[in-house]
């Protein structure tokens, strides 16, 4: 099982348009420091599933036949934006899985094109996709949102974004799993409150509760990047970056 982080930004991305902070200036100089919309690619036994569709170049990255499905965490624009173009393609229907959100985003449900929206996933009800089993985990966000636990070949990875803290039942479920890898929303530096996203304090509280083997931060804001320029992360915590490959 391989999880590649395709994008690791919060909604504003890095660099933020017009921002002159050190983190945004660095991202304009160094392509490796750019953060694009939060998304990932799960590869297991020759199959590939896209987790969230916020990247604007999905059509170039994934020619027809290279994806077996799309998993959505939720229907905020920065997580689905790339689907608005992809949907008009000439290709086999592509299954899309996600939470029960009657609103969806704009006219995606009304005009799905080649996207084949599947019945909403049920919290904690496992779904087998090829060689991977996924478990949808309710998160605490401003729109119905699922994180996912992936299990394959004796390994497990939890991908939890977007969220502020964890609902108690999701935290209890993950405590029982102790996943090998936890990839989690860490939008803000410690001490900085954010209504719908974790800061680093909240991430560390979740780590204490869930006890994953490895912990990787995603959904980072330019303010989190600015903080990282001057501060080390606690031992065992790694900041994700666009393109990062996590092997299990």
Could you list the residues that contact a second copy (CB under 8 A)? Answer: 11-13, 16-20, 56-57, 59, 63-64, 77-78, 81, 84-86, 88-91, 105-107, 114
**Does an H or E element contain 169, and which?**
helix 168-177
Tell me whether residue 92 or residue 100 sits nearer to a second copy (CB atom): 92
Residue number with CB closer to a second copy (90 or 208): 90
Q: Which is nearer to a second copy, 81 or 170 (CB)?
A: 81
Q: Which is nearer to a second copy, 92 or 247 (CB)?
A: 92
| Minimum distance from residue 245 beta carbon to a second copy (Å) | 25
Taking phi over 0 as left and psi of -120 to 50 as alpha, with beta for the rest, 178 belongs to left
Stated length of the chain: 248
Strand partners, 188: 199
Q: Which is nearer to a second copy, 83 or 157 (CB)?
A: 83
Q: How far is the CB of 39 from a second copy (least distance, A)?
A: 14
Residue 47 Cβ vs a second copy, minimum distance, rounded to whole Å: 19
As measured in angstroms, the least distance from the Cβ of 18 to a second copy is 4
Q: Which sign does the torsion angle of CA 43, 233, 33, 192 carry?
A: positive
Choose between 57 and 169: whose C-beta lies nearer to a second copy. Answer: 57
Least Å distance between CB 115 and a second copy? 11
Residue placing its CB nearer to a second copy in the complex, 161 or 221: 221
Shortest spacing between CB 248 and a second copy, in angstroms: 31
- Do 107 and 132 touch, CB atoms closer than 8 A? no
Minimal distance in Å, beta carbon 32 to a second copy?
17
Sequence-distant contacts of 142-148: CB under 8 A, at least 24 apart:
142/195, 142/196, 143/74, 143/75, 143/76, 143/101, 144/74, 144/75, 144/99, 144/100, 144/101, 145/73, 145/74, 145/99, 146/73, 146/74, 146/98, 146/99, 146/121, 147/73, 148/51, 148/71, 148/73
Going by C-alpha positions, the residue among 89, 83, 30, 93 that lies closest to residue 58 is 83
Q: How far is CA 62 from CA 17, 59, 118, 203, 226, in A?
A: 27, 6, 20, 32, 32
């Amino acid at each position: 099982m391989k999880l590649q982080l395709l994008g690791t930004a919060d909604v504003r991305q890095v660099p933020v348009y017009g921002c002159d902070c050190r983190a945004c200036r660095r991202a304009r100089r160094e392509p490796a420091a750019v953060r694009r919309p939060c998304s990932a690619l799960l590869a297991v036994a020759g199959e590939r599933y896209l987790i969230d569709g916020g990247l604007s170049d999905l059509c170039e990255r994934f020619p027809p036949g290279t994806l077996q499905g799309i998993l959505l965490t939720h229907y905020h624009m920065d997580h689905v934006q790339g689907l608005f173009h992809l949907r008009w393609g000439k290709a086999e229907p592509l299954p899309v899985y996600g939470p029960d959100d009657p609103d969806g985003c704009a006219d995606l449900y009304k005009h799905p094109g080649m996207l084949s929206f599947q019945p909403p996933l049920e919290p904690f009800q496992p779904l087998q996709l090829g060689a991977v089993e996924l478990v949808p985990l309710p998160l605490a966000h401003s729109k119905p949102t699922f994180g996912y636990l992936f299990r394959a070949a004796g390994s497990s990875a939890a991908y939890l974004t977007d969220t502020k803290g964890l609902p108690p039942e999701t935290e209890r479920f993950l405590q029982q799993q102790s996943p090998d890898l936890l990839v989690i929303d860490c939008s803000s530096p410690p001490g900085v409150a954010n209504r719908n996203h974790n800061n680093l304090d909240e991430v560390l509280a979740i780590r204490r509760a869930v006890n994953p083997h490895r912990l990787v931060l995603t959904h980072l804001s330019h303010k989190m990047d600015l903080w990282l320029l001057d501060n080390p992360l606690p031992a065992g915590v790694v900041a994700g970056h666009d393109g990062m490959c996590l092997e299990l």
